[in-house]
Amino acid sequence: MKLPLTPIRFLQCADRQFPQKTAVIDGDRRFTYSQFAERCRRLAGVLKAWNLPRGARVAYLAYNTHPLLEGYYGVLMAGCVLLPLNIRLSTEDFVVILNHSQARVLLFHSDFSETVEAIRPRLENARHFLCLDRGQAADWADPESYDDRLAGSSPDLKWDPFALDEDEVAEIFYTSGTTGRPKGVMLTHRNLYLHGLEAGLAVGTRESDVHLHTIPLFHVNGWGAPQTLTGMGGTHVMLPAFDPAEVFRLIEEHRVSVFFLVPTMATALVNHPDASRYDLSSVRMISLGGAAANSMLVEQVERTFGCLCVSGYGLTETSPVVTLSRPKSHLELDDADRLELQAMTGYPIPGAEVEIVDGNGSALPWDGETVGEIVVRSNGVMKGYFGDDEENLRLFQDGWFHTGDMATIDSQGYVLIVDRKKDIIISGGENISSLEIEKALLSHPAVLECAVIAVPDGRWGEVPKALVVLKAGSIAAEEELIRHARERLASFKCPKSVEFFDSLPKGGTGKILKRELREQYWKDQKKRVH
C-alpha cells in the first residue's frame, strides 16, 4: 500500500490517538486535539464554500496565534496553499508578494486592518478578506469574524488521503533573494511530511513535549514545529509576540519542555534580571538557529534553563532543518569542546545529505579547513521557487540544491558555516536583501553609489551598514540617509549606520568588491556569518 504523504495525516493521527489531550494553549483559550481538528475541518469548509480553485493561495497576516496554526492544516484540507506573511514587511512588500503569488484570500488580525485597507485596491486576485479576531473590521471585509465563520461552517469530513497528490504544493513562504525580489519557496505535502518525521526524530520530539512557539509561524515553516509536534501529539503553546517576561511566565505556568530561539532572543532571556524568579526546570532542550551563535551563549542558555542547548542550520528552501549540533555520544569531549561543538552548525539530520563543493561542483575534503559551498539533498528540499524557472535551474544542479552558503566540514561530519556567497544579511533571524537597501539609498539625490554589507552586532548577530559615495558637491548626513531608507523600507531592513567614502573598490567589470569591504569589519571575528 502507498499512502500519499501529507502533514494532514499528522493531525488525523493526533485526533484519533489523543482526542481529549490539550493540543493548543493560546492565552485563556485551550483546545483538545478533537476540538483543534474540528476547527481545522471547519476552516476547510469555509474555504470550500467560497469555491476556490484547487491550489489557491490563502494568505495570513497574523500573529503567532491558534488561527494561524489551524491554517497549517485547514487550508491544506481544502486543497489550497498556505501563505503566511511576515508581519514586519512593508505595505509595498505585501502588494508584491500577494500579487506575485496570486493569493485569493487574506486572513488578518484586526491590528493590521489599516494595512490591508491600504493595499486592497492594488491586489489583483484577492477577493476574500476575513478578520481573525473580533476587532472592528471595515465594510470591505467579511461581515463575520473568523470564529463566527467557523461556527457556521460544516466541518469537512470527506477528506480522502488517496485523492491527494503528495507532490502538490502545500505551503509557500517568501524569502529575500539575491536580486532583492522576494522569492516564493514552494513546499509540497511530501516535503512537509518527511521533514516532520526526520526533524522530529533528530530533535527527539516526544508525546509529552510542551512546545512554546517563540519562532513566528510565518517564518520558515515555524522551523517545522507545526508538523513535528502535532505528529507526536504534543502540546502547542502560542506566543503572539516575543517578550522575555512572558516567555518565562508561560514556561512556568505550562511546564514548557522545548522551544527554539534566534540568538538575539537567547541573549535577551539569559540577561533578563528576573530570570531566576521563575521555575524553568521543565525545559529539557533549546535549539538556536537563524543567526550566529557562540559557545558562551550556549553555556549561558544551559546555565539559565538547566537544559541541553544545541544549534542548527536550515533554509526556507529545505523546510527548514538540515543540521543539528547534538554532541555525538562516542566523542570524548571536555566541557569547553562540547560547548564549542554545540555552537557549530552541526551534522545532517536523518534523511539529509550535505557536501561542500568547489566552483566546478566537485566535492571537497572534510578536513575542517577547506571551504566550499554547501549543497544539500533531502526530502525537505523545496519543489522550487514559484514562477522562477531560471533560478530553479541555477540552484538545482547534479541532484543537489546549492545553498550559496560557504562552510567547512570536519572529520567528524560537523559543518561550520564561515561565509556566504549571497549578499543576504541575516539580522535577528530575518533575511534582508542588501540590494533592496541599496536601491532605496540610490534614490536619494545626493547618493552616487553605495554598497550595503553585514557588520557584526552584539545584539542582532549582524546588521546592515551602508557604505556611501556622494555626488560631487552634494551633502547628506548619516541620519538623513537612514531616514530616507526608512520611508521606503520596513524598519528592520534599514541600515543601522552609514559610512562615507570618496570611492569604493571595484573589480575589472566595475562591480563593487563587497568581500573586500567586509573584511575590515569582520577580520577579528572567528565566524563570519551563520
Nine cell digits for residue 512:
563593487
pLDDT, residue 137, reads 65
pLDDT for 530 equals 40
Q: Report residue 180's pLDDT band, with 50, 70 and 90 as the boundaries.
A: low
What is the average per-residue pLDDT within 466-480?
93
Angle of helix 478-486 relative to helix 434-442, nearest 10 degrees? 110
Strands (E) located in 300-399: 308-314, 321-324, 347-348, 352-357, 372-378, 384-385, 396-397
d(CA 403, CA 395): 7
Tell me: pLDDT of 178 over 60.
Answer: no
How many angstroms separate the CA atoms of 330 and 326, rounded? 12
Residue 407's identity, in one-letter code, is A
| Residues sharing a CB contact under 8 Å with residue 525, sequence separation 6 or more, in sequence order | 456
Question: Which of 2, 6, 325 lies closest to 194, judged by CA?
Answer: 6
376 within 8 A of 318, measured Cβ to Cβ: yes
Question: What residue type is 110 in one-letter code?
Answer: S
Give how far the C-alpha of residue 352 lies from the chain's centroid of Cα atoms, to the nearest Å: 19
Q: Up-side HSE of residue 386: CA atoms within 13 Å toward CB?
A: 27
**What is the per-residue pLDDT across 23-77, written as a single tens digit (0 to 9) for each?**
999 999 999 999 999 999 999 999 999 999 999 999 999 999 999 999 999 999 9
Give the Å distances, CA to CA, from 20 to 25, 37, 318: 14, 11, 33
Q: How far apart are CA 49 and CA 154, in angstroms?
A: 9
Q: Are strands 210-213 and 235-238 parallel, antiparallel or unpaired?
A: parallel
pLDDT, mean over the chain: 92
Which pLDDT does position 304 carry in this prediction?
Answer: 98
How far apart CA 215 and CA 240 sit, in angstroms, is 10
pLDDT digit string, tens, across residues 380-423: 999 999 999 999 999 999 999 999 988 899 999 999 887 666 66
pLDDT at 240: 96
Can you read off the three cell numbers belonging to residue 27? 492565552
pLDDT, residue 420, reads 65
Percent of the chain, pLDDT > 70? 95
Phi, psi of 285, deg, nearest 5: -155, 140
pLDDT at 428 over 80: yes
d(CA 449, CA 374): 32
Q: Are 19 and 182 in contact (CB under 8 A)?
A: no
Q: Quote the DSSP letter at residue 61.
A: E
Handedness of CA 518, 521, 524, 530 (dihedral sign): negative
Q: Which grid cell sits at 367?
A: 578536513
- Report the percent of the chain where pLDDT is more than 90: 76
Cα torsion 198, 20, 80, 68: sign: negative
Q: Is the pLDDT of residue 161 over 80?
A: no
**Residue 530 and residue 526: Cα distance in Å, rounded?**
12
Per-residue pLDDT at 246 exceeds 70: yes
Read off the pLDDT of residues 286-312 as tens digits, 9 standing for 90 and up: 999 986 678 888 999 999 999 999 999
Count the helix, strand and coil residues of the chain and give each as a percent rounded to the nearest 5: 35, 25, 40
Sequence-distant (≥ 6) Cβ neighbours of residue 200 within 8 angstroms: 224, 227, 228, 229, 231, 232
Q: Encode pLDDT of 307-326 as tens digits.
A: 999 999 999 999 999 999 99
Least reliable range by pLDDT among 177-191, 271-285, 465-479: 177-191
SS3 of residue 475 by DSSP: coil
Task: Report the range of poorest mean pLDDT among 189-193, 243-247, 460-464.
Answer: 460-464
Of residues 422 and 276, more confidence is placed in 276
Q: Contact at 8 Å (CB) between 263 and 288? A: yes
Helix (H, G, I), strand (E, B) or coil at 354: strand
Per-residue cell: 100: 506575485
Phi-psi region of 204 (alpha: psi -120 to 50; beta: other; left: phi over 0): left
Backbone angles phi, psi at 19, to 5 degrees: -60, -35
Banded model confidence at residue 510, pLDDT cuts 50, 70, 90: very low
pLDDT score, position 508: 42
Measure the CA angle with vertex 203, ends 201 and 204; round to 5°. Answer: 60
Residue 214 pLDDT exceeds 80: yes
**Cα 316 from chain centre:** 6
Q: What's the gap between Cα 361 and its chain centre?
A: 28
pLDDT of 172 reads 98
